Amino acid sequence: MMRSITVVIALALLAACTVAAPPADPWAGMRTEAGTVVWQDEYEFVPPPAPWKLMSLNEDDYSIAFFRGCGDEPPGNFPCESTFAYAEEPFGYSRELKERQREFFRLRRFLWASRVDFDPPSSKKISALGGEALLAETVGHERVLKHKVLAQVVFARRGERVVAFYFTQWRPDDGTFDRSHLEDFRRFVETFRFRKPSFYERLLGYR
Amino acid sequence: MEGHQRNLYLYDRFNARVAGVSRDDVPTLRHWSEEMGLTFPLLANTTGYLGIAFGAQHLGMPIFARRTVVIDMWGKIRYIRDGSPDYREILLLLRGLHEEEGRR
């Protein structure tokens, strides 16, 4: 019995030390001299500053994603999550940007589990990944819980295929979106680079 | 199915075609296909004999298990995989088969 108590106390002390220690750099060992981060030897980008956190993903829809939760927002402002992600295989099929945008929202796969009805998206041409891209923005409404979500999607190209960057921010229906979070998303998109040809480019023998 | 639809242009380059097989009836598949925006054929096999032939019809189950089968141009089964399709594995196989076709 005494031994059990001793162990518990020791663990508690260790935990206290962990809290007091300065936060470890989650990108240690991945940083380049240019200030970017190399991810899985495939992508290079400037990661968003804290409180953005890297999300752990167990699905193929997203290749890398970040979020900031309610703990990073003023109290009483629920829902309050913001996320953004790079997706190698965005919903839809077309290799044409405008058509892919139409499919992306028409197929109702994006945020499908949240039962969201999207307003018709607005879109404009921008540059991303060194080429022409399309930035679409819309607001989705979850009418049962009375939540809304700001969604911004950048459709760009990797070789022949369309890839995408997603941003979402949840708020109560009568709340206000914090568009300052979009700045971190924009910077992520602007700095995002590929380190090597994609699987599909290699498949077809492109260099 | 979305992955297959996304890769149709690559299947085309490798001289391959894809078809889905289901125990659902034609109206159900037509509705689903339109909703998903699929353009490749879906075969309604309500009696289930195709699933039995390819080993995807488990005893007592009303639906087929997910199974991907690749048949080469000479009618020989070259690949079987259960569960979600591994699209990259399929593409690498199809590229190999296409190169093989060119050599024969």
Average pLDDT over residues B14-22: 96
CB atoms within 10 A of CB A195: 11
Q: Identify the band that residue A113 occupies on the pLDDT scale cut at 50, 70 and 90.
A: confident
Mean pLDDT along residues A187-201 = 95
Is A203 touching B (CB cutoff 8 A)?
A: yes
Hey, what are A51's tokens? 């409180």
Instruction: Kindly report the number of other CB atoms within 10 A of residue A140's CB atom.
Output: 21
State the pLDDT confidence band at A14, using cuts at 50, 70 and 90: very low
Give the pLDDT score at A23.
65
Q: B26: pLDDT confidence band, cut at 50, 70 and 90?
A: very high
Pick the residue with more confidence: A76 or A184? A184
pLDDT, mean over chain A: 86
Name the DSSP class of A80. -
Structural domains for chain B: 2-59+67-99 (3.40.30.10)
The DSSP annotation for B56-96 comes to ---TT-SSPPPEEEEE-TTS-EEEEEESS--HHHHHHHHHH
Report the residue of B2, B94, B95 to disrupt the A interface, i.e. the one with the largest count of A CBs within 10 Å.
Answer: B2
pLDDT at A206: 65
pLDDT of residue A62: 67
Residue A188 has pLDDT above 70, yes or no: yes
Contact list, B88 vs chain A (CB under 8 Å): 199
Domains of chain A: 48-203 (3.40.1000.10)
A194 vs A27, residue with greater confidence: A194
Q: Which pLDDT score is estimated for A59?
A: 59
- Distance from the Cα of A97 to chain B's closest Cα (Å) equals 14
Predicted local confidence at residue B60, as pLDDT: 87
Q: In this complex, do B2 and A203 lie within 8 Å of one another by their Cβ atoms?
A: no
Across A137-159, average pLDDT: 96
Stronger pLDDT, A17 or A108, i.e. the higher one = A108
Helix (H, G, I), strand (E, B) or coil at B51: helix
Q: What single string gives the DSSP state of each residue in A100-139?
A: HHHHHHHTT-TTGGGTPEEPPPEEEEEEETTEEEEEEEEE
Residues pairing with A165 in the sheet: A86, A154
* Long-range Cβ contact pairs of A26-34 (< 8 A, separation 24 or more): A26/A53, A26/A54
Q: Which two tokens stand for residue A161?
A: 């295929």
- A106 contacts on B by Cβ (under 8 Å): 37
Nearest to B6 among A89, A109, A204 (CB): A89
Radius of gyration of chain A (CA): 20
| Residue A160, pLDDT score | 95
Contact A195, A53 (CB under 8 A): no
Interface confidence (ipTM) of the complex = 0.90
* Beta carbons within 8 Å of B40's beta carbon, 6+ residues apart: B4, B5, B8, B17, B18, B19, B20
A147 has pLDDT over 80: yes
pLDDT exceeds 80 at position A10:
no
For B32-84, the pLDDT digits (tens) are 999 999 999 999 999 999 999 999 998 888 899 999 999 999 999 999 999 99
Question: Is residue A191's pLDDT more than 50?
Answer: yes
DSSP helix, strand, coil percent of chain A (3-state; round to 5)? 25, 30, 45
Phi, psi of A168 (to 5 degrees): -135, 145
Strands A64-68 and A82-87, sheet pairing: antiparallel
pLDDT confidence of A22, banded at 50, 70, 90?
low
A12-37 mean pLDDT: 68
- For residues A92-114, one letter each, b for 16 or more C-beta atoms within 10 angstroms of the residue's C-beta and e for the rest, the string is bbbeebeebbbbbbebebbbeee
Give the contacts of A40 (CB within 8 A, at least 6 positions apart).
Answer: none
Please check whether residue A103 touches B, CB under 8 A.
yes
